[in-house]
Amino acid sequence: MKLKDTYPLYLNNKAEQPNTDLAVTDKYTGDIAFRTALATPDVIEEAIAGAVRATEPMAKLASYEKQDVLLHCVARFKERFDELAYALCVEAGKPIKDAEGEVTRLIDTFRIAAEELVRNYGEVQPLDISARAKGYMGMWKRVPIGPCSFISPFNFPLNLAAHKIAPAIAMGCPFVMKPASKTPLGAIIMGEVLAECDVLPEGAFSILPASRDGADLFTTDERLKLLSFTGSPGVGWDLKAKAGKKKVILELGGNAAVVIDKDADLDDALERVVFGAFYQSGQSCIGVQRILIHAAIYDRFKAMLVEKTKTLVAGDPKDRDTFIGPMISEDEATRLKGWIDEAVQAGATLLCGGGLSRGNMLEATLLENVPEGAKARDEEAFGPLAILGRFDDFDAVLNEVNNSRFGLQAGIFTRNLFQMFDAWDRLDVGGIVINDVPSYRVDNMPYGGVKDSGLGREGIRFAMEDMSEIRNLIVRRG
């Protein structure tokens, strides 16, 4: 399979090729894979103006018309499955099996949105709760919030864009999207498919690769009523500070912990923990970073984990045997290599990995005895690194999970029902996964974090609620 040499941006539903200024590399070879147009501030301004013009006609679309658009996308994504997976493999360096899994989730997300939009109910509410309200009744419904701004990251270029685009269409909100400059092609292909839908009014969508410096309008323009950003905490909270009066949804980082209690099925936990720590080279905000193991099984599970990690195949992501592919850039790989070396110098033990080759191929790495204050422990690694810790008291290990400025998801391997509920009550995270890793997500569930991990929730129904406002109708009878 071969990609095109150049790709357009999408401005007010139409493909435009004002330039070919953005060169996107094959993350494994480093060669330029294709070029795409880069949106300038005047193009972004035109897109926002188009979204404003499309606000009323988008809101007037019937449910069946929006559902037809989403189901068209589902059908076309299935037809273009191999192309979408290959594009991910090239532009993101994602191993082909992981890339195919992400295309499946893209299809699921649009299908779920098509189902949820016809369940967008309101409510009839009795208001006669006291004598002064006798004869009054109320009703409310959800209406589109208006033009939305979306900024998506490089690590899941299809699925994380889909979690913004699909609910916007379902709710009837026009949008402008900035995909990550390192991985714009997935969103561009989504734009190509949406452009086939004549029912969408002009201005319903714009897909605009843009430099970070030139994209301030995505955040600051007051005509946009919602900003949804997925990316790093530093960038996300800075954007929120600049966003003005618009609603802001932030899906940010994490250094997720998984607890392996003494009653866990160790063979099952091993398979899931290795996957959670190292799939797509650890570049996931809910990837396993902290592995907390009960003292009674610590040595045994550590030995199993090191042995399994050493067997992971690293190499060309286009090879179906590859599990560890390249990191997104040499800079990111060098950063994380520096964190590993820093932790070792501070007293941590390197159990396996730690090597860097080809510029951005970092080995799957396990550390233990990492001291508090080391970046490898306290910050988001966002790469193929996990650290081991020991515990002998379940209450104490819950406190250790909470000992982080992040709070996205956590995993607990236990068969103890009471401990499961204790974790649910006490862990300061957005979601707890029992007998699996924190890296698990299904696309219809509420998803998001607390503390520095974000603000608000994704998941189609929950995103639709964020992209809407409640409009009341109050009736006085008699």
Phi-psi region of 277 (alpha: psi -120 to 50; beta: other; left: phi over 0): alpha
With b for 16 or more beta-carbon neighbours within 10 A and e for fewer, the 295-311 pattern comes to: eebbeebbebbeebbee
Q: Under 8 Å CB-to-CB from 261, ≥6 apart: which residues?
A: 294, 394, 412, 413, 414, 415, 416, 419
List the catalytic residue out of 73, 148, 197, 285.
285
d(CA 182, CA 180): 5
C-alpha separations of 286 from 135, 151, 387, 445 in Å? 51, 19, 15, 15
How many helices (H) and strands (E) in the chain? Answer: 15, 25
Q: Under 8 Å CB-to-CB from 115, ≥6 apart: which residues?
A: none
Q: Under 8 Å CB-to-CB from 411, ≥6 apart: which residues?
A: 256, 257, 258, 259, 272, 276, 288, 432, 433, 434, 436, 437, 438, 439, 440
Residue 251 known to be catalytic: yes
List the catalytic residue out of 91, 100, 251, 363.
251
Map 241-288 to HEC letters: HHCCCCEEEEECCCCCEEEECCCCCHHHHHHHHHHHHHHHHHCCCCCC
Residue 352 known to be catalytic: no
DSSP state of 201: P
Catalytic residues, which ones? 251, 285
